[in-house]
Structure 1
């Protein structure tokens, strides 16, 4: 019976790997320094030209990234160059360092992105991965373009863990709840994580899932939970982020209650958007992947879409300016303005284009007023 069960888990794992490879991703490992190695699913060469925006998907506690992002990679890979790392002590990622905090994990992923030569990217983290994504945005605003935090109580307090244990009816510690060892404990955790009642599975199958997906580096993962810098006391010390931020939360999340999402929105600054996924709990990316993916794409591609529309609207209008660039009769000031416009257009700088358009509008309005004034003077004469 055990070997049959094992083949089921292995078979489904093979299916998930094919999902990733069909999205153009390859698996490899990189030494980010002399102590730490991270495994990664990333773009297989040759890279797309022109390159797509880069997006890092950061998994939460539990199974490795393969099991947590399989509903996202195919859809998101159409629009982004995806980088899906396994955090330290997950999926073959290891370290000899004694560091165990989420800040250490953030530094490891940031160095990984340096190693693969990506200078600018957005991050999407779920649950524990949201802690990592937040710290990457906080520490490297010059690298991280946008931040998506999903189902992640970055603003949690010590009492939140105590209340979670009560909701779960668990008399042990938080690390025992998050790292189940028995079928009964896995059922309890699944009931917390899922809005819909999980499929009924026999205990022998659940036991095999535990052996395959939860047993690796168990003691080190406990150390990761104990090493968290957040949730140590009942006050929240959280710095706002400079980036645009999207918070995605399941309406019925029983691990991090929905009220945490509203509080987090107020704490992270004035460039924060909150999206609540109905009929889902702690894993909306699995329970409602289409809605989750659409929300993420709309947020991350917003400026790209605006820039496309702006380019389309001014393309014909700028045709005459293009011709003028080769016109020797063009004044130096006119040439500088034309070059400035096209540099902004080439970079996709929506703000600069809008500013140029605003300046041109004000200039034309002033010229119109002067013309009307001259006409009035002529009429009086």
Structure 2
């Protein structure tokens, strides 16, 4: 019997409508050199508002990872939510797979839309790209939020047992699930309390819609993250940085959060959310946003407003 209904595709459509209703529109930009990037951009850019760039991690697409928080940001920011290369509708024919190249493409994308400076939120892999943007384009990145971003990992960490998985090949199979069993494993790694009893046909549907495009390229992105990585070679950034971590993160253990705070220094603040895993933005959505609000939004409120309402 042919499946005529896709829960995943329907959910994706709902997110698409919510982004549209929030005042955004999807635009594909040709950056030349074989690179095309899709981005949700404001229907009307307001120069009086600051700009906010939201970078997603591995998983579905940008809409799924920021759908719960978008409505809080659009009244206060010109919000930009791109699909990184090989996610959603973004791709390149170029061979580069580093987060440095991703960062350069995102910067070119922002310039295409006339945006010269942003505050930035990066979740997991998106934080790798965001950190690279902050290092390469310090004048363009004003503030930085890094959520469960293992940018301070080293290649030797895998061999020394920091991670729950034994090797890169197994990590890739979990992060790019192609079977219901591997998707369940990813859920166990990502959440403290993963959903239980999810039927296999739901998981297969999610894989079919979200996990079958650019598998080889995404595998290369993961390999690029780890290969030859050494903390001594990681550039330091000077922007004010908020680091958010789930205390039970099994993909990028909390140790990497402490390393990142130490590496950046006094310009960084580390917030640990209890009883949360790697998908802290979804698992502890309200607490996650509370910290984003304190760091990104509250400083924008005029002191006269605060005094009047105190």
Same fold? TM cut 0.5: yes
Quick one: which of 121, 136, 139 aligns to 2:136?
139
CA offset at residue 39 of structure 1? 0.3
Aligned counterpart, 2:113: 116
Aligned counterpart, 2:303: 309
Count of residue pairs brought into register by the alignment: 307
Of structures 1 and 2, the larger Rg is shown by 1
Quick one: which of 189, 198, 201 aligns to 1:201?
198
Aligned counterpart, 1:373: none
1:16 aligns with 2:18: no
- In 2, Cα distance between equivalents of 1:128 and 1:281: 15
- In 2, Cα distance between equivalents of 1:188 and 1:217: 21
What is the DSSP-based 3-state SS (H/G/I as helix, E as strand, rest coil) of the residue aligned with 1:15?
A: helix
Structure 2 stretches of 5 or more lacking a match? Answer: none
Higher helix share: 1
Asked if the contact 2:165–2:171 (Cα under 8 Å) also holds between the matched residues in 1, the reply is no
Aligned counterpart, 2:269: 273
Q: How does 1:328-339 map to 2 (within 5 A)?
A: none
Asked if the contact 2:122–2:146 (Cα under 8 Å) also holds between the matched residues in 1, the reply is yes
- In 2, Cα distance between equivalents of 1:68 and 1:116: 22
CA offset at residue 12 of structure 1? 1.2
Q: Deviations over 1:81-126 (max 9, x none)?
A: 1100001111111111111111000000000000000111111111
What is the DSSP-based 3-state SS (H/G/I as helix, E as strand, rest coil) of the residue aligned with 2:29?
A: strand
- In 2, Cα distance between equivalents of 1:166 and 1:122: 31
- In 1, Cα distance between equivalents of 2:298 and 2:27: 31
Name the Cα RMSD after superposition.
Answer: 2.2
CA offset at residue 207 of structure 1? 1.1
Asked if the contact 2:243–2:268 (Cα under 8 Å) also holds between the matched residues in 1, the reply is yes
TM-score normalised by structure 1 residue count: 0.75
CA offset at residue 24 of structure 1? 1.1
Aligned counterpart, 2:41: 42
CA offset at residue 173 of structure 1? 3.4
List structure 1 segments (4+ residues) > 3 angstroms apart after TM superposition: 159-166, 168-173, 233-236, 310-313
TM-score normalised by structure 2 residue count: 0.92
Structure 1 stretches of 5 or more lacking a match? Answer: 314-381
Q: How does 1:295-306 map to 2 (within 5 A)?
A: 295-305=291-301
